């Protein structure tokens, strides 16, 4: 049966000589994978590939059948035309990194309209703004709201944060208790919106340490999560 749904491209992989497998986060069905047959062997195929750049926002007509591993796309069009996300080096590096994170973090084949709206809005924000050095940090932190392990802020005044429990604590419990400057940055990011994210002043080393803490936070709460392969390239660009 054919359905029309909005989607965000998460990854693409060459399959055989002329085919691509594309993974998307869809508005109506969650994560789905699609087989694009023959797109690598013709000039017309090259035009089609352009729709599937990482984190592109597209609308697709799909032949969807439950429990099928690979689905078919019948029609595709761009929903949002980015002006800088795929052309500026720093932004394209952020895109590559976040696509890796989302590919590992999003596994469910079910609709989550709030999460989909969050992704749409924040990608649009990234495309339109220039002061973005802290964007990925706030993005990763706010994404945890939709993944089910956002920090409990009811005791945010306490001097420790436990990455394993997601709680602020009065005393350190275990090896995942945070009390250094990462704790202070965490409290700042918890109380800020994207339009003000550039007001948080961090050195490159501080930004990297805070990112490492956030990725550990993900690993502790998502059993299948591993540090993105693009992390090394991403860290070089932001060093």
Domain holding 68: CATH number?
A: 2.40.50.140
Are residues 61 and 139 part of one domain? no
Are residues 99 and 195 part of one domain? yes
Degrees, nearest 5: CA angle 152-216-149: 30
Are residues 199 and 121 part of one domain? yes
Q: Which pLDDT score, from 0 to 100, does residue 46 have?
A: 53
Query: What are the pLDDT tens digits along the chain (239 aa)?
Result: 899 999 999 999 988 888 899 999 999 999 999 999 888 876 655 557 889 999 999 999 999 888 889 999 999 999 999 999 999 999 999 999 999 999 999 998 899 999 999 999 999 999 999 999 999 999 999 999 999 999 999 999 999 999 999 999 999 999 999 999 999 999 999 999 999 999 999 999 999 999 999 999 999 999 999 989 899 888 887 76
Q: Which pLDDT score, from 0 to 100, does residue 65 have?
A: 87
Nearest of 150, 3, 145, 130 to residue 65 by alpha carbon: 3
> The domain spanning residue 122 has which CATH number?
1.20.1440.120
User: What 8-state DSSP symbol labels residue 51?
Assistant: G
Are residues 204 and 118 part of one domain? yes
Measured between alpha carbons, how far is 63 from 28 in angstroms, rounded to an integer? 13
Q: Which pLDDT score, from 0 to 100, does residue 181 have?
A: 96
Q: Which pLDDT score, from 0 to 100, does residue 225 have?
A: 95
- Please identify, among 50, 81, 112, the residue that sits at the C-terminal boundary of a domain: 81
Q: Which pLDDT score, from 0 to 100, does residue 209 have?
A: 96
From the centroid of its chain, how far is CA 68?
A: 24
Q: Which pLDDT score, from 0 to 100, does residue 49 have?
A: 83
Q: Which pLDDT score, from 0 to 100, does residue 120 have?
A: 98
φ/ψ (deg, to 5) at 82: -70, 145
The domain of 180 spans 83-239
Measured between alpha carbons, how far is 139 from 224 in angstroms, rounded to an integer? 20
Are residues 154 and 77 part of one domain? no
Are residues 107 and 77 part of one domain? no
Are residues 141 and 216 part of one domain? yes
- Please identify, among 33, 49, 81, the residue that sits at the C-terminal boundary of a domain: 81
- Please identify, among 81, 104, 131, the residue that sits at the C-terminal boundary of a domain: 81
Q: Which pLDDT score, from 0 to 100, does residue 43 have?
A: 62
Q: How many domains does the chain have?
A: 2
Are residues 165 and 70 part of one domain? no
């Amino acid at each position: 049966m054919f359905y029309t749904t909005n989607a965000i491209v998460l990854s693409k992989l060459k399959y055989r000589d002329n085919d691509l497998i594309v993974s998307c986060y869809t508005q109506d069905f969650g994560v789905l994978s699609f087989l694009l047959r023959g797109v690598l062997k013709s000039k017309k195929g090259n035009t089609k590939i352009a729709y599937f750049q990482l984190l592109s926002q597209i609308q697709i007509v799909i032949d969807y059948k439950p429990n099928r591993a690979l689905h078919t796309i019948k029609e595709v069009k761009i929903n949002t035309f980015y002006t800088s996300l795929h052309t500026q080096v720093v932004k394209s590096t952020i895109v590559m990194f976040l696509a890796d994170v989302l590919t590992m973090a999003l596994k469910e084949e079910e609709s989550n309209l709030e999460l989909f709206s969050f992704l749409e809005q924040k990608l649009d924000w990234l495309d339109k703004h220039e002061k973005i050095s802290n964007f990925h940090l706030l993005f990763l932190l706010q994404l945890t709201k939709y993944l089910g392990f956002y920090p409990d802020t009811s005791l945010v005044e306490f001097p420790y944060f436990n990455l394993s429990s997601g709680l602020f604590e009065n005393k350190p419990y275990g090896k995942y208790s945070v009390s250094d400057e990462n704790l202070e940055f965490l409290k700042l990011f918890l109380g800020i919106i994207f339009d003000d994210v550039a007001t948080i002043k961090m050195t490159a080393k501080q930004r990297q340490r805070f990112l490492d803490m956030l990725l550990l936070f993900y690993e502790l709460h998502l059993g299948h999560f591993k540090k993105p392969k693009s992390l090394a390239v991403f860290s070089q660009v932001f060093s």
